[in-house]
Amino acid sequence: MDIAIQIICAAIIIVEFITGSAANGFIALVNITDWVKKRKISTVDRILTALAISRINMLWSVFIITLVSSLYPDLEVSMKTVRIKNSTWIVANHFSIWLATILSIFYFLKVATFSNHIFLYLKWRIKKVVSVTLLLSLIFLFVNILGMNIHIDVWTSASERNLSYSSTSKTYTQFHRLIFLINTMFTLIPFTVSLIIFTLLIFSLWTHLKNMRYNVKGSRDPSTVAHINALQTVVTFLLFYTGFFLTLATQVWVSQFLEKNVLFFAAIIITFPSLHSCVLIIRNSKLRQASLSVLCWLRCRSKDVDPFVP
């Protein structure tokens, strides 16, 4: 039964990996091509391009780490391997999560309508908000990597003094549990920001509809449509993000189960950067039009191919 589940999880990982790589590669290719043609690129396209590249990096990182962990489980004993693996994961996950959060912040500032002076100040300086948020996230990245390396150094020193600190001991399980806890804590920060943005968007829409109650434009004016589109994008992001975050949080309490089910957790983790990118293509008009053009081109090419010609 375990072998069957592992085979299913492996198949899911391969499908998600191919889908995610293709979707994110498509987003990056379309925006970069458009950038080269027009000699300029919008802020949202910059965020989407950076997000796509970061997610390709994350997918490859998770895929390689999972492959190595499955084929060579004994490498887990090496602290050097643990350090490299965790640093790679932290960097890849950080940019994937924070760039997606920055995208939500961008949609919020573009769409929301508040008369608050602080909000208006941020709305008028949206490019600076994006840049400052990214810079602040780099501080969290530095602290995360620093805290992780300190924890690994402390455990390495303790293991050298005490031979009972083996890879099969309870202490080694606690070591991995604390690593998962540190990663989850730093993932909680952008997750909280996304929840706040979602709440503020709902409040902004409610306020806008309340003000439009006696307006002849009705409830389907451009601002309302923009609110709904932004909410749909953020809701989709939060749904995938919640599953991703819960998977990380679960690893804190089931470290021993994780060691035996690496493929299961990997299949859940890469769902977020894979499928959410497909949703971004559908929700973005330029990317959606480009994808439809590609599908039409492929359909025409398939009709031109004669199956009987060798």
What b-and-e string marks burial along 34-66, b requiring 16 or more CB atoms within 10 Å of the CB?
beeeeeeeeebbbbbbbbbbbbbbbbebbbebb
pLDDT recorded at residue 265? 76
pLDDT recorded at residue 141? 93
Quick check: 107 pLDDT over 90? no
Q: How far is the first Cα of the chain from the last one, in angstroms, to the nearest whole number?
A: 43
pLDDT recorded at residue 84? 80
235, 198 Cβ separation under 8 angstroms = yes
Q: pLDDT tens digits, residue range 218-229?
A: 555 666 676 677
Q: pLDDT tens digits, residue range 258-292?
A: 555 677 778 888 888 888 888 888 888 888 888 88
Q: pLDDT tens digits, residue range 53-81?
A: 999 998 998 888 888 777 766 555 566 77
Q: pLDDT tens digits, residue range 177-214?
A: 777 788 888 888 998 898 888 888 888 777 766 666 65
Q: pLDDT tens digits, residue range 227-248?
A: 677 777 777 888 888 888 777 7
60, 53 Cβ separation under 8 angstroms = no
> Cα-Cα-Cα-Cα dihedral of 10, 57, 151, 76, to 10°?
40
H helix runs in the chain, sequence order: 2-38, 43-71, 79-111, 117-124, 126-161, 170-211, 222-253, 255-260, 262-269, 271-283, 285-304
- The rounded distance, in Å, linking the Cα atoms of 209 and 289 is 30
Q: pLDDT tens digits, residue range 3-41?
A: 777 778 788 888 988 999 999 999 999 999 989 988 888
pLDDT recorded at residue 134? 93
Query: CA–CA distance from 37 to each of 23, 42, 94, 135 (Å)?
Result: 21, 13, 31, 29
- The rounded distance, in Å, linking the Cα atoms of 1 and 13 is 18
pLDDT recorded at residue 308? 42
pLDDT recorded at residue 188? 87
Residue 114 φ/ψ, nearest 5 degrees? -130, 150
- Of residues 207 and 133, more confidence is placed in 133
Whether pTM > 0.85 for this model: the answer is: no
Domains and CATH numbers, the chain: 3-281 (1.20.1070.10)
Mean pLDDT of the chain: 79
Quick check: 307 pLDDT over 60? no
